[in-house]
A and B are shown apart, each in its own frame.
Chain A
Amino acid sequence: MPKTKEDNSGYKVVGVTTPTQVVPDAEMITRDDLEGGRWTIRATGHDEAKSDAGERSMFVPTYDDEHSRHIRAQQMFYAKCSPTEKQWEKVWGKRKYATDRALLACEVLRITHLMSKAGFSPEQHLQRGSELLDGKLMSQHNDFQSVVLNAIATKGTLGYEPFLEGVSQHHPEWIPVLDKLANEATEFYNSVDKHNAKCREEGTEWRIIPEVHATGNKPQHNGFGYTEKLAKWVEQVVGGMTEEGKSNPSIPKPEHAKGEEGDEGKKGKKGKSKEAKALAEMLKSLGEAGKEQRESQQWGRGNIPRKGVKEMWEELRVAKPPLVRSVIGAIGKKRVASATGRNPRRMSRLLTDPERRIFDRTVKGAGGVVLVDTSGSMRLSADQVKEIVLHAPSALVAMYSGGAYKPKPNLWVIANKGRMVEQMPRPNGSNGMDYPALEWAVKQRQRPSSPVIWVSDGGVTGRHDAFHDDLVMECVRLCKKQGVYVVPDPDTAIDLLKRLQRREKVTSIIPETLSQTYKEVTGQELVLR
């Protein structure tokens, strides 16, 4: 009879062995941007693995099996290639080419890509275990954005198929789109490898661009720049994903769940053809957009931008000149007849008004913010700006124009609360800070429902009056998210203001530059409020 161990309490311990512990050799990892040194490595559960190369700490499962080994390899790759927490705070987090969620998903894909390249088999051994449920819940709640990002994050791993299976339980029609998108994303990283391999083969090493795993000190020499590029593309293709994860109206609506048919089921059928059409269009545009995205890279130096979007804008400097003139108008605070009140001011209504509304009631205006682009391309005269002000009496009206040296202002509040400036400020000439100005305008609105109107030809530029798609897209995203009305010239602005006063339904008249750039970048038509 085999002997069993017995501890002090008298209990017999049967069949208990100490498992073999495998600790990763994280010290062997080299990076261009960090010094080597000792690592603190601790054992943890499969779903709690994490690492930070900056702090040289790693939490990984230490069991001797393939699944644990692949999680260790994944964390080793994070330690090898991903930005440290400090680098994130200092550099990458501030660049704002894409949201954190999208960056995270695309970074997971980059790591999976590198794992496969290094001879690991993530498609056979790497999974969280909760993918099926994740897919099911995300699709059940119609969270298309999360579904897309998760599909990208799980692509190339064992968890990809279960995730799609989960999604297909509520939205089988999403699968081809997800698959296409994930394939295009994988192909994006492959294309960098292919380009460099071709350069080596042809002996044109000078054309070699940073590798996918590069860890250069500057962003343009760092492989995370590809993650950033991919994340930007994914967001653009899928359409204006937000940090808050709000659903996008252009995303196909949910198919009604089985068992909930009836009246809703009928509606679902009616909507299904529209959804199918939208999906088919999206699927088509995905392929084109992905191909264009890769072709447009032209894989050369400067492929990864040196600066973040935020750094490309001029600094906003707001001036508030004295508002000395009164603007009388109807959009603001006004008195209307009322049947109740303290002082009867409209006695004549006793005879003329069947409801005898002899009192006054104050009605607050809708308020609003009008932001006028007074850059050179708008060719606005002081009178035209004044005309806009006169048609927006209770609104805050500001004009902006960049290109001036500090401390000269580049945005002026020219009217507010029924008062305006005596003389219009002289604009500086260029744009330079459209986004910061828009951001400022959105913050100024009196109530969440107050309209924000941006009068601009869409000729968005950054520092030194430089044009860049990313700058335009950032403005577009803000306009979409905040429901900003965009009009290209003073006439349409005045028309829109008049219609707003009459409480009519209004829509943006999108400047051509904005719609064209948006179409080029996303392959889709731009729709604004």
Chain B
Amino acid sequence: MARTATKVNELPKCWQTVKDALDAGIDRVILYGTAGIGKTYAGLNYGELSGGAHRLICTDEMTNADVTGCWQPTASGSWSWLEGAGIKAWQGNGTVGGRLVIDEIDKAGGDVFATLLAITDTPESAQWEHPQSKQLIKPLEGFSVVMTTNVEEMNELPMALKDRFPVAIRINEPHPDALLRMSEDLREYAKQMCDAGERRISLRSFYAYDKLRKALGAKKSAEIVFGNRAKSFLDAIAVDTVKKVV
């Protein structure tokens, strides 16, 4: 099994592209592809991050409060404005703009989506009036956005979003750091199965299987983690290694 010994130190092509793009100062990037392979991790860690990184997880139920902020009562009985992740990222550390990581933007509702479009607009067009100070806030130099989504095809995203994010990178391999956490013999399979469409097996399942098999053996662990799929999973390993799985 020559290719099973995954070279974990080598950055796969898709990840290298992400790194190169962010290091080069590209400030609007969409990372799309299957779930659980480290897209958010890259958004929070790659590139210039001296302004800090702020994460926003989109759901149907979320409101603009998460993006721009909301009023909240203070201990003195008055109200103060609590800034949302979008505004925080605009302001960064006060000198340099921060990074806004928007997860699963395709799941955001219409209102939030419109606000996110405004927040992620070009620095020249983007501005927001602070409800408390009435100050006109603009994104600071260095503000960047990394958007992640689990859609498989870019066509599934709205045109307005695609316009704002000219660089879209499909992530089809787990990040090597994530693979390092499991036994070497499973790394290649984990890598392959992350992008197996409807037959996908998540990294988390591999972690669980890897941990369990040390105590319970391959067969029982596979049954616990993969259920009905255990047999075909073990058969595939037996075929690939040309060895009986014990």
What residues of A have a CB within 8 angstroms of the CB of B233 in the complex? 25, 28
Query: Are A22 and B240 touching (Cβ within 8 A)?
Result: no
Least CB distance from A38 to B in Å reads: 5
Query: Are B243 and A25 touching (Cβ within 8 A)?
Result: no
| Bound CA–CA A37/B173 (angstroms) | 10
Check A27 for interface membership: any CB of B closer than 8 A.
Answer: yes
Check B192 for interface membership: any CB of A closer than 8 A.
Answer: yes
Check A80 for interface membership: any CB of B closer than 8 A.
Answer: yes
Check A14 for interface membership: any CB of B closer than 8 A.
Answer: no
Check B214 for interface membership: any CB of A closer than 8 A.
Answer: no
| Bound CA–CA A27/B238 (angstroms) | 13
Check A20 for interface membership: any CB of B closer than 8 A.
Answer: yes
Known contacts A22-B228, A22-B232, A73-B235; is-contact A29 B196 (Cβ 8 Å): no
Query: Are A24 and B228 touching (Cβ within 8 A)?
Result: no
| Bound CA–CA A32/B4 (angstroms) | 10
| Bound CA–CA A31/B240 (angstroms) | 9
Query: Are B192 and A118 touching (Cβ within 8 A)?
Result: no
| Bound CA–CA A213/B238 (angstroms) | 13
Check A69 for interface membership: any CB of B closer than 8 A.
Answer: yes
Known contacts A29-B240, A114-B242, A119-B243; is-contact A72 B192 (Cβ 8 Å): no
Name the CB-closest residue of A to B245: A119
Least CB distance from B85 to A in Å reads: 34
Query: Are A76 and B236 touching (Cβ within 8 A)?
Result: yes
Query: Are A117 and B242 touching (Cβ within 8 A)?
Result: yes
Instruction: Return the CB mask of B177-212 against A: 1 if under 8 Å, else 0.
Output: 000000000001101110111010100000000000
Query: Are A118 and B199 touching (Cβ within 8 A)?
Result: no
Indicate the size class of the contact surface on chain A: 20 to 34
Instruction: Return the CB mask of A71-111 against B: 1 if under 8 Å, else 0.
Output: 01100110010000000000000000000000000000000
Query: Are A38 and B197 touching (Cβ within 8 A)?
Result: yes
Tally chain B residues at the interface, Cβ within 8 Å.
30
Instruction: Return the CB mask of A161-185 against B: 1 if under 8 Å, else 0.
Output: 0000000000000000000000000
Check B1 for interface membership: any CB of A closer than 8 A.
Answer: yes
Check B134 for interface membership: any CB of A closer than 8 A.
Answer: no
Query: Are A119 and B238 touching (Cβ within 8 A)?
Result: yes
What residues of B have a CB within 8 angstroms of the CB of A77 in the complex? 239
Check A63 for interface membership: any CB of B closer than 8 A.
Answer: no
Check A30 for interface membership: any CB of B closer than 8 A.
Answer: yes
Instruction: Return the CB mask of B214-246 against A: 1 if under 8 Å, else 0.
Output: 000000000000001101110111111111110
Query: Are A27 and B196 touching (Cβ within 8 A)?
Result: yes
Check A59 for interface membership: any CB of B closer than 8 A.
Answer: no
Query: Are B1 and A118 touching (Cβ within 8 A)?
Result: no
- Which of B199, B201, B229 neighbours the largest number of chain A CB atoms within 10 Å of its CB? B199
What residues of A have a CB within 8 angstroms of the CB of B239 in the complex? 29, 73, 76-77, 80, 118
Check B2 for interface membership: any CB of A closer than 8 A.
Answer: yes
Query: Of B188, B196, B229, B232, which contacts A72 at CB under 8 A?
Result: B232
Check A23 for interface membership: any CB of B closer than 8 A.
Answer: yes
Query: Are A28 and B236 touching (Cβ within 8 A)?
Result: yes
Query: Are A118 and B2 touching (Cβ within 8 A)?
Result: no
| Bound CA–CA A337/B231 (angstroms) | 86
Least CB distance from A27 to B in Å reads: 4
Query: Are A32 and B2 touching (Cβ within 8 A)?
Result: yes
- Which of A30, A41, A73, A211 neighbours the largest number of chain B CB atoms within 10 Å of its CB? A30
Query: Of B3, B197, B228, B236, which contacts A31 at CB under 8 A?
Result: B3
Least CB distance from A196 to B in Å reads: 12
| Bound CA–CA A37/B189 (angstroms) | 11
Known contacts A118-B241, A118-B244; is-contact A27 B235 (Cβ 8 Å): no
Query: Are A118 and B232 touching (Cβ within 8 A)?
Result: no
Instruction: Return the CB mask of A31-47 against B: 1 if under 8 Å, else 0.
Output: 11000111101000000
Query: Are A29 and B4 touching (Cβ within 8 A)?
Result: no
Instruction: Return the CB mask of A467-503 against B: 1 if under 8 Å, else 0.
Output: 0000000000000000000000000000000000000
Instruction: Return the CB mask of A1-37 against B: 1 if under 8 Å, else 0.
Output: 0000000000000000000101111111111100011
| Bound CA–CA A69/B230 (angstroms) | 12
Least CB distance from B229 to A in Å reads: 8
Query: Are A25 and B199 touching (Cβ within 8 A)?
Result: yes
Query: Are A76 and B192 touching (Cβ within 8 A)?
Result: no
Query: Are A26 and B242 touching (Cβ within 8 A)?
Result: no
- Which of A22, A38, A73 neighbours the largest number of chain B CB atoms within 10 Å of its CB? A38
Name the CB-closest residue of A to B188: A30
Least CB distance from A247 to B in Å reads: 38
What residues of A have a CB within 8 angstroms of the CB of B245 in the complex? 119
Known contacts A20-B228, A32-B3, A38-B196; is-contact A25 B242 (Cβ 8 Å): no
What residues of A have a CB within 8 angstroms of the CB of B232 in the complex? 22-25, 72
What residues of B have a CB within 8 angstroms of the CB of A119 in the complex? 238, 243-245
What residues of A have a CB within 8 angstroms of the CB of B201 in the complex? 25
| Bound CA–CA A31/B197 (angstroms) | 20
Query: Are A23 and B199 touching (Cβ within 8 A)?
Result: yes
Check A120 for interface membership: any CB of B closer than 8 A.
Answer: yes
What residues of A have a CB within 8 angstroms of the CB of B188 in the complex? 30
Beta-carbon contacts under 8 Å, A184-226 to B: 211, 213
Name the CB-closest residue of A to B173: A36
| Bound CA–CA A119/B244 (angstroms) | 5
Query: Are B192 and A30 touching (Cβ within 8 A)?
Result: yes
Name the CB-closest residue of B to A215: B2
Query: Are B196 and A76 touching (Cβ within 8 A)?
Result: no
| Bound CA–CA A37/B236 (angstroms) | 15
Beta-carbon contacts under 8 Å, A106-143 to B: 114, 117-120
Query: Of A36, A37, A39, A120, which contacts B238 at CB under 8 A?
Result: A120
Name the CB-closest residue of B to A32: B2
- Which of B4, B236, B243 neighbours the largest number of chain A CB atoms within 10 Å of its CB? B236
- Which of B1, B238, B239, B240 neighbours the largest number of chain A CB atoms within 10 Å of its CB? B239
| Bound CA–CA A120/B239 (angstroms) | 9
Name the CB-closest residue of A to B196: A27
Least CB distance from A323 to B in Å reads: 60
What residues of A have a CB within 8 angstroms of the CB of B3 in the complex? 30-32
What residues of A have a CB within 8 angstroms of the CB of B195 in the complex? 27, 37-38
What residues of A have a CB within 8 angstroms of the CB of B191 in the complex? 36
Instruction: Return the CB mask of B156-189 against A: 1 if under 8 Å, else 0.
Output: 0000000000000000000000000000000011
| Bound CA–CA A64/B231 (angstroms) | 10
Known contacts A30-B4, A119-B243; is-contact A25 B193 (Cβ 8 Å): yes
Beta-carbon contacts under 8 Å, A312-341 to B: none
A-B contact pairs, 9 of them (CB 8 A): A24-B232, A25-B193, A29-B240, A30-B2, A32-B2, A69-B231, A114-B242, A118-B238, A118-B244
Closest 10 CB pairs of A and B: A119-B244, A25-B236, A28-B236, A27-B196, A30-B3, A76-B239, A118-B238, A36-B192, A27-B192, A28-B189
